[in-house]
């Protein structure tokens, strides 16, 4: 629980199971899953998006409404498992840093578990996300400056107070919780499995967790193959796209983006994402703020789906991926709508 990176090489850790993969069903790294901390996360709906399909030229475009999770974002899948592991470990007070959604999610699950949470978030994060953190009774530590400053402050606080750093970006328990996304896709879309899944990517916990879930499903014989997994970032902050596609981008080029949830300049799992894109035949693309805002409007006005900008970025990316023929017009495509629009609403 306290060890988040390898003490020798500094790289992030993965959960490995020593016994055989069971023939069906998700396996989680918990000793007592029946006592786990849950708020009913998961089992989010998948809906067809006919208008957006028409605009992009796709016959079969589907969205998994991850904002239907208890705190309004996909993060609850990871928080449920991470917090359950923290309870098993005997944690009573934890520290986390976040651009907002993970902080809100961890706060809710900490409240449920009776654990005191300290959440470090940029003071410039959307007010609704900061309010949500406080509502659950977590101690909010607003940090001036960019997202990375919140991480630095959290780490300093952990050292000073000798607390547990329950970082959702580093904890392998969080990634394991995300696997449920893929298990649901396999069940809900069993008659028309997606050829592609398009993700908004910051730290990559959703992307990596979903891959792990799909990998298990293929090993269990429940899916014939892993869908092509695609990465979307903002042109303002695109370290992963730059690393995968050799596109010019460096830290000093980082700029503000409306997609705050994917504004991560130095993702710790960056080395794990390129191989996943390659292994699944996916692609990686960066999109402008203009196209992100345009897609937030399209989704709301044409589909009744209110996504936050970080989530609509995936649809802007989808459009580019179709244009560059990484996604064919006859293919079945799934996009997770990762966070609810009211968390980061446009000014009216």
Ligand X SMILES: Cc1ncc(COP(=O)(O)O)c(C=O)c1O
Closer Cβ to ligand X, 122 or 194, answer by number: 122
Shortest spacing between CB 68 and ligand X, in angstroms: 13
Closer Cβ to ligand X, 26 or 106, answer by number: 106
- Would you give the binding string for ligand X spanning residues 139-178, x where CB under 6 A is met? ----------------------------------------
3-class DSSP state for residue 268?
coil
Tokens of 136: 């659950």
Closer Cβ to ligand X, 20 or 67, answer by number: 67
Distances (CA, A) of 27 to 15, 17, 35, 177, 212: 11, 9, 15, 10, 11
Among 216, 303, 308, 319, binds ligand X (CB under 6 A): 308
DSSP string over 32-101: -GGG---SS-----EEE-HHHHHHHT-SEEEEEEGGGSTTSBTHHHHHHHHHHHHHHHT-SEEEEE-SSH
Size of the site for ligand X (CB under 6 A): 19
Beta strands in the chain (DSSP E): 46-48, 60-65, 93-97, 116-122, 139-143, 164-165, 196-200, 228-234, 284-287, 332-337
CB 223 within 8 A of CB 217: yes
**DSSP conformation class of 23:** S
CB 339 within 8 A of CB 96: no
Say whether residue 312 binds ligand X (CB under 6 A).
Answer: no
Among 42, 122, 177, 261, binds ligand X (CB under 6 A): 261
- Would you give the binding string for ligand X spanning residues 87-106, x where CB under 6 A is met? ------------x-xx----
Say whether residue 73 binds ligand X (CB under 6 A).
Answer: yes
Closer Cβ to ligand X, 107 or 310, answer by number: 310
Q: Which stretch binds ligand X (CB under 6 A): 8-16, 29-37, 185-193, 194-202?
A: 194-202
Say whether residue 201 binds ligand X (CB under 6 A).
Answer: yes
Shortest spacing between CB 92 and ligand X, in angstroms: 26
Q: Which stretch binds ligand X (CB under 6 A): 28-36, 110-118, 131-139, 204-212?
A: 204-212
CA angle 91, 97, 101 (to 5 degrees): 105
Closer Cβ to ligand X, 186 or 273, answer by number: 273
Q: Which residues contact 191 (CB under 8 A, 6 or more apart)?
A: none
Shortest spacing between CB 101 and ligand X, in angstroms: 4
In degrees and rounded to multiples of 5, residue 210 shows phi and psi of -65, -40
Closer Cβ to ligand X, 136 or 207, answer by number: 207
Say whether residue 317 binds ligand X (CB under 6 A).
Answer: no
For the four alpha carbons of 110, 133, 262 and 327, in that order, the dihedral sign comes to positive
Q: Distance between CA 130 and CA 121 in Å, rounded?
A: 8
Say whether residue 69 binds ligand X (CB under 6 A).
Answer: no
Binding site for ligand X (CB under 6 A): 73, 99, 101-102, 200-207, 261-262, 308, 310-311, 338-339
């Amino acid at each position: 629980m306290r060890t988040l990176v390898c003490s020798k090489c500094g790289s992030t850790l993965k959960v490995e199971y020593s016994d055989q993969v069971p023939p069906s069903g998700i396996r989680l790294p918990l000793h007592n899953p029946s006592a786990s901390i849950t708020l009913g996360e998961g089992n989010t709906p998948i809906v067809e998006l006919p208008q957006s399909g028409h605009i992009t030229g796709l016959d079969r475009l589907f969205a998994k409404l991850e904002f239907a999770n208890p705190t309004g974002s996909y993060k609850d899948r990871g928080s449920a498992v991470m917090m359950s592991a923290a309870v098993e470990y005997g944690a009573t007070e934890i520290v986390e840093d976040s651009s907002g959604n993970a902080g809100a999610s961890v706060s809710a699950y900490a409240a449920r578990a009776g654990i005191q949470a300290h959440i470090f978030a940029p003071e410039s994060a959307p007010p609704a996300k900061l309010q949500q953190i406080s509502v659950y009774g977590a101690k909010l530590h607003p940090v001036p400056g960019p997202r990375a400053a919140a991480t630095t402050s959290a780490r300093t606080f952990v050292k000073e107070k000798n607390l547990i750093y329950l970082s959702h970006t580093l904890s392998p328990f969080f990634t394991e919780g995300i696997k449920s996304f893929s298990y649901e896709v396999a069940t809900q879309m069993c008659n028309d499995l997606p050829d592609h899944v398009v993700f908004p990517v910051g730290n990559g916990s959703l992307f990596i967790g979903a891959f792990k879930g799909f990998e298990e499903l293929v090993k269990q014989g429940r899916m014939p193959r892993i869908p092509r997994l695609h990465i979307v970032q903002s042109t303002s902050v695109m370290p992963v796209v730059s690393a995968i596609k050799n596109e010019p981008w460096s830290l000093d080029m980082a700029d503000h983006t409306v997609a705050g949830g994917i504004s991560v300049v130095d993702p710790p799992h960056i080395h794990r994402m390129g191989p996943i894109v390659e292994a699944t035949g996916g692609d990686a693309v960066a999109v402008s703020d203009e196209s992100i805002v345009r897609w937030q409007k399209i989704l709301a006005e044409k589909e009744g789906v209110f996504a936050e900008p970080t989530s609509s970025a995936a649809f802007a990316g989808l459009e580019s991926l179709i244009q560059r023929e990484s996604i064919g017009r006859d293919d079945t495509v799934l996009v997770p709508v990762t966070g609810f629009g009211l968390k980061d609403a446009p000014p009216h």
